[in-house]
Structure 1
């Protein structure tokens, strides 16, 4: 089918009505109007248009005379459309995509171009602090599902002409809008071209799961390694800081989570809260989080190892030995509780808000005295798993929390089967899973350890105040 726009408005209307199936869609409107004795037609999606702006435009058109509209499409756009966001399109498939995206299209008889008026508005919730990535002090705004609102939150923080918001589109059916955000004078050109090339090469029908679908399309490697390849955040301040460091940010329409690339193990473990306190407090919070996650990874496997070899328990720690009757092997108790904790998370996620408190009370009873008194679990096992469950929430990244959980379960099983040799092999394999992991763009996952960069490593481990000259420099990944 010919993709160009015809000068005959009747022909254009027939094609659009057929392509958009206007007769069957109540919300796709084709409004016939007359502008200066010229036959015209407006196409838009009901619910995506600012009614007051459309009303004012039609009122303005009604006062135009025949001699006013005897002009070219470019002159019509410049002189007769009193609105800021106006464009000309000469391809029919582009017009259809724009209409379905919420843009209003004006067809004028005798014009081989369609006037595109971007007066759309999307249903959106209010900007509020993210539920997961909260801070005790600092900004309380967070991204929403509307792309333009998210880019505005970043622009508000970086008022620099070098901040680039490059629009792209993915999905042959969904035509999902994607924005690649970066600082033109700070981003590494090789990194930027790598990311843009990956997005351009994506061939998919639709991004049904927003940024997760995009992530799976961008990374074609093996997903057996559970450590995350992307860093996600709902916070505009974290995104602004990352962009100023020279990183690339990908914003996907319909998603409140933003992807930051490249993502290393150190950058994923960072949190915004570290920077809203003085350096000594931020350093304490950061190091505490790292230490807590390491302890949560090895605590229960070491406990299993000590129960297998009680004579290895260090002097002064003999109290950790279980003296009560063990009805179920320790390894099975720990594995059962690992799954029970996830079951409670899923149940809490799907529990109506009015039932959250009663559910919490019932869960506390079941997993406390009743569980111990029934003989299923020993109190020491309950204590260690309680610490592990709490430690999981010290990490803002869901993906990293579950990666550590999978590694902990693997360590538990291999330690239970092969004792100390299983524990050593498990630790080595976990370390290798981190060291030999690669970012989506091919950088080292443990940078700045490999390649070694002392200054950047200190920045990741300690919350320090950098000189002004270092804050604006490119960061090597």
Structure 2
């Protein structure tokens, strides 16, 4: 009996959890005239591919003329993605990632065979990024399938997908995706260093865990430090502009870097319409975002200062009586809108329409009849709620909401001076926000870059390639 081989198998059984984990499969077999053993996670195994590879190895008459595993790999292993490994911990990590480990008696290390098939859903269009025209596919939770969706669109040798493994416990796969020669090398170096030195023990919340680990510490600043997309066409356009993607295994959300405030004004539908229509949509989106922040504080100041409003602006005044102060009404409806959003997330689809009607009745007719709210509050808060859907970034929508509520509180306490100070405070937050990567949150305004500013504000026609 070969004790070193038996001891090696026992150590790997203990490390991989054979007998302890029901999904860990081990199998003893013969390769040529020697004993061998393989380990694979049952949920990952691609049975037909693995059976063909094992059948080929078992058909070897003898291993006497094969000096090492590298020679065995070259001559008899038919799986394309295969290699040798002598590090036991690395081999265990690869098995948990889906590979099959094969150890053969008399050889150091083992063979790692990539015969896996991840359980995944179809590449259907994401709910948060639907388009009228264009492709209707979306990223999924598998980093390999997401990479394939990008390769399908960019068939260029310059497309580089560089893998970085983060987290000591989760061993999560992260890929830096960029076009060689177009991406900023300094920015790439910064991102590599941040990922490799990120203090991450476990990637529990996928992209959010990594974003919080590599982003500058600014808990008080509500503006998002990165953008996300679940659409391959958006990611492709970003790559072609020289940006960098961060693909993270187990999540369909892809990070788009670098980031700045005006980049949140871009949306994929702009590019599926003619340039003039796309420019119009961007301008509308920009002004809606601006109104979303200032409309309720500004209306509150005007409505509570009747002497300053003369015809034809007197329609801004509150016409009826109410039992609740106007400022409290605005804050109350802000909170109620969030309560409805949270409740809708947990409402089954079959009851979603009924729940929306019930919420509208409670906030609308019943609240006005009971004199809790005045109709004007519902009108302005309805505009705010609808305008949030014009912003495709959920994080930026809540940043605008928090700034609006802060402006409202300033206006309540210090009136017009408070409103002015609140606006200055919002601008300071924007100017001092530190994104994960990039020249600054207000770029291309600070530092000023006229060409980049025009490209963000105006939808320009696609450039012709004259090479």
Task: Give the corresponding residue for 1:411.
Answer: 407
Q: Using the TM superposition, give the Cα deviation of residue 67 of structure 1 relative to its aligned residue in structure 2, in angstroms.
A: 5.2
> Which of residues 117, 129, 132 is equivalent to 1:133?
129
Q: Report the more deviating stretch, 433-442 or 176-185.
A: 433-442
What is the rounded CA distance, in whole Å, between the counterparts of 1:137 and 1:311 in structure 2? 51
> Which of residues 9, 30, 33 is equivalent to 1:34?
30
RMSD, matched Cα: 1.6
Deviations 1:374-411 (A, max 9, x none): 10000011000000000001100011000000000001
Q: If the length of structure 1 is used for normalisation, what is the TM-score?
A: 0.95
Task: Give the corresponding residue for 1:94.
Answer: 90
> Which of residues 371, 380, 394 is equivalent to 1:375?
371
Report SS of the residue matched to 1:409: helix
What is the rounded CA distance, in whole Å, between the counterparts of 1:42 and 1:231 in structure 2? 42
What is the rounded CA distance, in whole Å, between the counterparts of 2:435 and 2:211 in structure 1? 12
Task: Give the corresponding residue for 1:475.
Answer: none
Q: How does 1:289-368 map to 2 (within 5 A)?
A: 289-313=285-309, 315-368=311-364
Deviations 1:329-348 (A, max 9, x none): 11110100001001001101
Q: Using the TM superposition, give the Cα deviation of residue 466 of structure 1 relative to its aligned residue in structure 2, in angstroms.
A: 5.0
Kept after mapping to 2: 8 A contact 1:269/1:397:
no
> Does the alignment pair 1:176 with 2:167?
no
> Which of residues 358, 383, 396 is equivalent to 2:392?
396
Task: Give the corresponding residue for 1:435.
Answer: 431
What is the rounded CA distance, in whole Å, between the counterparts of 2:367 and 2:152 in structure 1? 52
Report SS of the residue matched to 2:40: strand
Kept after mapping to 2: 8 A contact 1:7/1:110:
no
What is the rounded CA distance, in whole Å, between the counterparts of 1:7 and 1:92 in structure 2? 18
Q: Using the TM superposition, give the Cα deviation of residue 113 of structure 1 relative to its aligned residue in structure 2, in angstroms.
A: 2.5
What is the rounded CA distance, in whole Å, between the counterparts of 1:68 and 1:376 in structure 2? 89
Kept after mapping to 1: 8 A contact 2:263/2:456:
yes
What is the rounded CA distance, in whole Å, between the counterparts of 2:273 and 2:112 in structure 1? 48
What is the rounded CA distance, in whole Å, between the counterparts of 1:281 and 1:259 in structure 2? 27
Q: What is the aligned residue count? A: 466
Kept after mapping to 2: 8 A contact 1:252/1:258:
yes
Kept after mapping to 2: 8 A contact 1:7/1:111:
no
Q: Using the TM superposition, give the Cα deviation of residue 171 of structure 1 relative to its aligned residue in structure 2, in angstroms.
A: 1.1
Task: From the superposition, tell whether residues 170 and 67 of structure 1 become closer, same or farther in structure 2 (CA, over 3 Å).
Answer: closer
For structure 2, the 5+ residue unaligned runs are none
Q: Using the TM superposition, give the Cα deviation of residue 308 of structure 1 relative to its aligned residue in structure 2, in angstroms.
A: 2.2
Q: How does 1:198-209 map to 2 (within 5 A)?
A: 198-209=194-205
Q: If the length of structure 2 is used for normalisation, what is the TM-score?
A: 0.97
> Which of residues 47, 55, 58 is equivalent to 2:43?
47
Q: Using the TM superposition, give the Cα deviation of residue 441 of structure 1 relative to its aligned residue in structure 2, in angstroms.
A: 2.7
What is the rounded CA distance, in whole Å, between the counterparts of 2:322 and 2:416 in structure 1? 21
Task: From the superposition, tell whether residues 450 and 423 of structure 1 become closer, same or farther in structure 2 (CA, over 3 Å).
Answer: same
Report SS of the residue matched to 1:88: strand
Task: From the superposition, tell whether residues 469 and 57 of structure 1 become closer, same or farther in structure 2 (CA, over 3 Å).
Answer: closer
Kept after mapping to 1: 8 A contact 2:160/2:177:
yes
Q: Which runs of 4+ in 1 moved over 4 A?
A: none
Q: Report the more deviating stretch, 36-45 or 401-410.
A: 36-45
What is the rounded CA distance, in whole Å, between the counterparts of 1:424 and 1:70 in structure 2? 80
What is the rounded CA distance, in whole Å, between the counterparts of 1:22 and 1:267 in structure 2? 50
What is the rounded CA distance, in whole Å, between the counterparts of 2:64 and 2:228 in structure 1? 52
Report SS of the residue matched to 2:153: coil
